[in-house]
């Protein structure tokens, strides 16, 4: 993918990632939505990867998008960069400033509350701690159900007719949620309690930008067993 006309969007694109990461998944979905050709480089040992240390010396984390020779870091930051750089494909963020602010707010909420609650369930030291984390995660789902009804306005996605910023932020967490459901027996996305999210999840999984890059749930289950040495995964 050479830069024949000097266009910024024609520069070579690489993505450093790891297949189980929901944050890497966000980046891949955004690139697929924008129909961007890119080279995906799997980093098995991110803590000791020379490339990761070179391109992200501050946090030493993936994903890292390398556009030409310029590294872009942090998943939500990358998704916004992809949306602003490539005009091909549908917009990811809304054009209205207020709607954009709302979308950014909810993606931060998803990371600070939903993802931390998922981790909280996984690493809980005892049953009481696990129950508290499950209750917090259920509260997150209830709030996101309300948010979906408000943002979708009766359409298929948080972003309306197509996948948007909140869809990518939350959709990347569906795999970890399904893993927790298998081990806890709790249905966090339920057709009765969260009907909007329940049908949205089916549409999200089936989307052409998502389906090819969504990790296999059984592989995620085995990964979780290896990563989290707690009773919930034994």
With a cut of 70, say whether residue 234 has pLDDT above it. no
Strands (E), the chain: 13-17, 39-42, 64-67, 70-73
Q: What are phi and psi of 70, to 5 degrees?
A: -100, 120
pLDDT tens, residue by residue, 159-212: 999 999 999 999 999 999 999 999 999 999 999 999 999 999 999 999 999 999
How far is 184 from 177, CA to CA, in rounded Å? 10
Predicted TM-score of the model (pTM): 0.91
The pLDDT tens digits for 38-76 are 999 999 877 778 889 888 888 889 999 999 999 999 999
Q: Quote the percentage of the chain above a pLDDT of 90.
A: 80
Q: What is the pLDDT of residue 5?
A: 34
Q: Which residues pair with 65 in a beta bridge?
A: 15, 72
Answer whether residue 1 shows pLDDT above 70: no
Distance (Å, rounded) from C-alpha 58 to C-alpha 54?
10
Task: Count Cβ atoms below 10 Å from residue 84 Cβ, excluding itself.
Answer: 11
pLDDT value, residue 232 = 54
Rg (CA), the chain: 18
Tell me what percent of the chain is helix, strand and coil, each rounded to the nearest 5: 55, 10, 35
């Amino acid at each position: 993918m050479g830069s024949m006309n000097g266009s910024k969007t024609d520069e070579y694109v690489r993505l450093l990632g790891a297949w189980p990461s929901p944050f890497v998944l966000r980046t891949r979905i955004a690139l697929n939505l924008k129909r961007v050709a890119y080279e995906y480089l799997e980093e098995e040992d991110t803590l000791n990867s020379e490339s990761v240390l070179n391109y992200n010396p501050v946090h030493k984390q993936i994903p890292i998008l390398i556009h030409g020779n310029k590294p872009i870091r942090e998943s939500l930051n990358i998704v916004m960069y992809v949306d602003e750089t490539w005009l091909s494909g549908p917009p990811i963020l809304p054009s209205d400033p207020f709607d954009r602010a709302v979308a950014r707010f909810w993606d931060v909420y998803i990371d600070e509350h939903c993802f931390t609650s998922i981790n909280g369930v996984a690493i809980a030291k005892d049953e009481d701690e696990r129950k508290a984390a499950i209750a917090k995660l259920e509260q997150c789902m209830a709030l996101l159900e309300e948010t979906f009804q408000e943002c979708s306005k009766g359409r298929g996605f948080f972003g309306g007719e197509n996948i948007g910023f909140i869809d990518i932020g939350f959709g990347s967490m569906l795999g970890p949620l399904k893993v927790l459901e298998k081990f806890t027996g709790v249905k966090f996305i339920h057709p009765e309690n969260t009907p909007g999210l329940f049908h949205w999840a089916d549409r999200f999984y089936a989307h052409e930008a998502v389906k090819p890059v969504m990790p296999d749930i059984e592989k995620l289950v085995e990964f979780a067993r290896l990563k989290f040495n707690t009773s919930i995964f034994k």
